[in-house]
Structure 1
Amino acid sequence: MTSPPRPPHTHPVSPLHLSHFTATSCIGTGLDDTLSALREQRGGLAPCRFADVRLDTWIGEVPGVDDVALPPALAGFECRNNRLALLALEQDAFADRVREAVARYGADRIGVFLGTSTAGVLQTELAYRQRDPQTGALPAGFSYAGTHSPYSLPGFVRAYFGLKGPAAAVSSACSSGAKVFASARRLMEAGLIDAAVVGGVDSLCHTTLYGFGSLELLSDQPCRPFDADRNGISIGEAAAFVLVERAPEPAPEGAILLLGIGESSDAHHMSSPHPEGLGARMAMEQALASAGVAPAQVGYVNLHGTATRANDTAEARAIHALLPGTPCSSTKGATGHTLGAAGALEAVICALALRHGLLPGGINTTQVDPALTVDYRLASRDQPLRHVLSNAFGFGGSNCSLLLGRATGGQ
């Protein structure tokens, strides 16, 4: 195997405190539902019945999204993606915790950095069906900026909380919801903000479903990450949010900390990863180095694990080279691949794993591919964890790894 270039020497950086977090996906609305689904190995995938889509595939649809009503003052943001965002924001008292942070720091000292791949493109799809038959003009009420634009999501969240600090959308395919943590950390280290709302939201739409269908990447059954007979992905939707602040010193017992971040770019192919997983390995190495954590200290890896032949093979090679024997699994068998939200959703799953001492097993997989030489866990089990790594690797080789840890007396 070709050895990747060594990452630049990285000094450990100050950790960030994941002071509050929440997640909503097809396995649950809020943390309690999500945790119980992981413990019970209960998936949320079902045959595709979304809108008028006719594809032989399974999806992870969040119930109740169409029943969510945005505040009248924010009607310009009306779309499925922002309704899903609001549904998630109102779980686990997360919105209350953000408002408390505003009172502590001031509205101009809290940033918003959110990942998405398609934002509210569904709203544009619906608008095109309502074009004027003579002129082709879109409906007068259609707002590209408020719905379809990637910035629609952070713009909505910023407006919902009345925040005035820096805000940005990250749209780097499937690494988006992880890379936002790096955006927040950079601005906090620069002294421009004191806290940030980070996360990711992606919702179902025709473009995503038919797009991945045209690439022949959709499975005709619930996806089976790392399975010998894996044959493609299951698309899901999700919203996950984290309030990150500077970690107190010493961090209180049990605090969930973001210890390290690694980012890399394969620059290998438009859609396929480097076959040896070199960019993935570099991202993981950088995350560990920036945290000052040795590979042997990692107790669990939440794999990107999309269940495609190429992606799982490349990631397995990177894991085998850097973290041989480390327990790992992909939770996409339960949630589906939530695209731009995946990095944030799985970071929250890792935070739950740390908080509750749970090593989540990968569901749907029955026969782990013997060519993938990793310690892939099929059954969830209780196990105290100190450090976990969460991988998010996107189209075109945009890679991000997050190293999270649980404080134990004095850290």
Structure 2
Amino acid sequence: MQQKQHSSAVGIQLSCSLSALGHSPQQLREQLSSAETSLSLQSGWLPERSVWVGAYTGAMLPHLPDRCGARTSRNLRFAVTALQQIEKALHNLTADIHPARLAIVMGTSTSGIADNEPLLAEYFQGKTDVEIDHHKQEMNALAKGLQAYLGWQGVAYTISTACSSSAKAFIAGQRLLNANLADAVLVGGVDTLCRLTLNGFDSLESLSDTICQPCGYERDGINIGEAASLFLLTRELAPVMLIGGGESMDAWHISAPHPEGLGAAQAMQRALRDAKLQADQIDYLNLHGTATPQNDAMEIKAVRQVFQDYPVLISSTKHKTGHCLGAAGAVEAYICQQVLLDQTWLPLHQQGEIDPELADQNFVKQSHVPKNMSDQLLNYVMSNSFAFGGSNVSLIFGTCLP
């Protein structure tokens, strides 16, 4: 079915992703269509107990070129490892574009702090002569490090708004293109496992003792994950387009969402308005779905406000990836892109008992999507990302048939 084109829509020309789901679209589909866990129980992150995490277990570049300089960290190596999947195609697509017209917008929340954690531990244990290079943990180290690696010269900056960071990077990249400030923008998000975030969420009593259960009856918190997901956006058509996005800011509480989901609903409504769509045109919604009692309750309230009686298919994927913080929006955008490209499956929601107060929703219980040869079943999908402080983002992706 020919889709209406939106004047502000931008095309996803290339994409890549590394996470607990693996390194390929096939691995991603297999993991998200299965009841088997992709998380791992690991020790060493928290004092005296193990914790479930969404760790990337594949190979990673051991070194980066000298041109990356002091920004080199595991976080940047993770990003470049992912980028190498599309690097040749990226150079081919951008070869005729002036480097000053090639931009980068990334999202992260940890940057390279994991590299400095052992040195900081030594410092606080009394080794005051230890040298700590803070450049690698600066938030902009990710975007500037990628810029140095690629040799691009355009706008390059990092967004750090906790769990909405990389979703915001998409909207920022779209704006750069539509404002004619760039001809191609590399967007996405990268976050790596580190003790700071795991112990921080543990101090908030937000970590689950088991594999998290989004919207579950016995949900008790999140699992932390890591991911590197990157996308090249341009104004040209592509098989999957970023159709629109919506943002809002609750400013309700430093770590809790608005209990009625007002900001979350507002972000979804603004995304629909930006995309010039009605709620009943969304075929699938990837929930933020962290598995904390407050977040899931408010998000379902927001879904009810926006979609009302329309039974949109919904699922959270965080029981498979872990909560990837600054990279969450990007890895979930990658999932949405793969769903639209394949057209035969949807990510399963967690298989445990759903909270009766949230069970009126149309959760994805079977991953296989029946194929209707006379029509294209999945046209538009939405992805939610909500962060501390009430920083809310909803993105809408759609198919594009030439």
Instruction: Give yes or no for TM over 0.5.
Output: yes
1:105 offset after TM fit, Å? 1.4
- State the alpha-carbon separation in 1 of the partners of residues 232 and 36 from structure 2: 27
- State the alpha-carbon separation in 2 of the partners of residues 49 and 65 from structure 1: 20
Corresponding residue number in structure 1 for 2:149: 160
1:367 and 2:353 correspond: yes
What amino acid does structure 1 have at the position aligned with 2:293? R
1:13 offset after TM fit, Å? 4.3
- 1:381 partner SS: coil
- State the alpha-carbon separation in 2 of the partners of residues 309 and 226 from structure 1: 8
1:342 and 2:336 correspond: no
Superposition pairs of residues 200-219 of structure 1, within 5 angstroms = 200-219=189-208
- State the alpha-carbon separation in 2 of the partners of residues 230 and 122 from structure 1: 28
Query: Structure 2 regions of 5+ residues with no counterpart?
Result: 1-5, 371-376
Superposition pairs of residues 115-154 of structure 1, within 5 angstroms = 115-131=107-123, 136-139=128-131, 142-145=132-135, 147-154=136-143
What amino acid does structure 1 have at the position aligned with 2:51? T
Does the 8 A contact of 1:176 with 1:200 survive in 2? Answer: yes
1:376 and 2:372 correspond: no
1:136 offset after TM fit, Å? 1.7
* Deviation per residue, 1:6-38 (Å, 9 max, x gap): xxxxxx642100111111101102333223322
Does the 8 A contact of 1:27 with 1:42 survive in 2? Answer: no
What amino acid does structure 2 have at the position aligned with 1:27? L
Off by >6 Å, runs of 4+ in structure 1: 132-135
- 1:76 partner SS: helix
Corresponding residue number in structure 1 for 2:228: 239
| Structure 1 pair 112–310 and aligned structure 2 pair: CA distance change class (3 A) | same
| Structure 1 pair 41–256 and aligned structure 2 pair: CA distance change class (3 A) | farther
1:317 and 2:301 correspond: yes
Corresponding residue number in structure 2 for 1:326: 312
1:101 and 2:93 correspond: yes
1:395 and 2:382 correspond: no
1:319 offset after TM fit, Å? 0.6
1:63 and 2:57 correspond: yes
Corresponding residue number in structure 2 for 1:37: 31
Superposition pairs of residues 187-206 of structure 1, within 5 angstroms = 187-206=176-195
Does the 8 A contact of 1:177 with 1:199 survive in 2? Answer: yes
- 1:165 partner SS: coil
| Structure 1 pair 48–314 and aligned structure 2 pair: CA distance change class (3 A) | same
Superposition pairs of residues 162-177 of structure 1, within 5 angstroms = 162-177=151-166
- State the alpha-carbon separation in 2 of the partners of residues 155 and 186 from structure 1: 19
Corresponding residue number in structure 2 for 1:8: none
- State the alpha-carbon separation in 2 of the partners of residues 285 and 389 from structure 1: 11
1:380 offset after TM fit, Å? 1.2
- State the alpha-carbon separation in 2 of the partners of residues 65 and 120 from structure 1: 18
- 2:152 partner SS: coil
| Structure 1 pair 33–134 and aligned structure 2 pair: CA distance change class (3 A) | closer
What amino acid does structure 1 have at the position aligned with 2:394? S
1:320 offset after TM fit, Å? 1.2
Give me the TM-score of the superposition, normalised by structure 2: 0.92
* Deviation per residue, 1:207-232 (Å, 9 max, x gap): 00100000000001111111111110
1:271 and 2:255 correspond: yes
- State the alpha-carbon separation in 2 of the partners of residues 268 and 127 from structure 1: 36
Does the 8 A contact of 1:122 with 1:205 survive in 2? Answer: yes
* Deviation per residue, 1:349-397 (Å, 9 max, x gap): 0000000014433354411112113211233122531000000000110
- State the alpha-carbon separation in 2 of the partners of residues 358 and 310 from structure 1: 33
| Structure 1 pair 65–152 and aligned structure 2 pair: CA distance change class (3 A) | farther
What amino acid does structure 2 have at the position aligned with 1:150? M
What amino acid does structure 2 have at the position aligned with 1:156? G
| Structure 1 pair 66–290 and aligned structure 2 pair: CA distance change class (3 A) | closer
Query: Structure 1 regions of 5+ residues with no counterpart?
Result: 1-11
Corresponding residue number in structure 1 for 2:211: 222
Count of aligned pairs between the two proteins: 388
Identity in percent? 37
- 1:111 partner SS: strand
| Structure 1 pair 68–37 and aligned structure 2 pair: CA distance change class (3 A) | farther
Does the 8 A contact of 1:247 with 1:257 survive in 2? Answer: no
Corresponding residue number in structure 2 for 1:296: 280
Q: 2:399 aligns with which of 389, 392, 406?
A: 406
1:14 and 2:4 correspond: no
| Structure 1 pair 398–52 and aligned structure 2 pair: CA distance change class (3 A) | closer
Instruction: Give the root-mean-square deviation of aligned CA atoms.
Output: 1.9
Q: After superposing the two structures, state which structure 1 stretch, 127-136 or 287-296, moved more.
A: 127-136
- State the alpha-carbon separation in 2 of the partners of residues 340 and 55 from structure 1: 25
Does the 8 A contact of 2:163 with 2:325 survive in 1? Answer: yes
Does the 8 A contact of 2:288 with 2:384 survive in 1? Answer: yes
